[in-house]
Copies of this chain bind each other. A is one copy, B any other.
Amino acid sequence: MAIMYEKDSEILKAIGHPVRLKMVEGLINNKDCNVNDMVKKMGLPQSTVSQHLGILRSRGIIAPRKDGVRTCYRVVDDRVEELIRVLKK
């Protein structure tokens, strides 16, 4: 498939932020998928974490699953895990 510069660069930009990159990697590796756990792990205000999650969500990188009061996010764009694997090389 041909590159769609606008759309693809949106994906890269979304994970091209240290906080979001760390959050996404955390979602891939661990099972700390709810917001409060991520808030603790990141050491950032809840609103800041939620805002970053919103950016990842709006780009279709992650998706929420309601679990009572909690919201558990998971990575739904398969390319993202691969992108991170490539970065590690």
A16 to B9, Cβ gap below 8 A? yes
Partner of A87, one of B3, B13, B20, B88: B3
Indicate whether A69 reaches chain B with its CB closer than 8 angstroms: no
Number of A positions contacting B (CB below 8 A): 30
Residue from B2, B12, B25 within 8 A of A15 (CB atoms): B12
A3 / chain B contacts, CB cutoff of 8 Å: 21-22, 25, 84, 87-88
Name the distance in Å between A4's Cβ and chain B's nearest Cβ. Answer: 9
Q: When A79-B89, A86-B86 are in contact, do A17 and B21 touch as well, CB less than 8 Å? A: no
Footprint of B on A, CB under 8 Å? 1-3, 5-6, 8-22, 25, 78-79, 82-84, 86-89
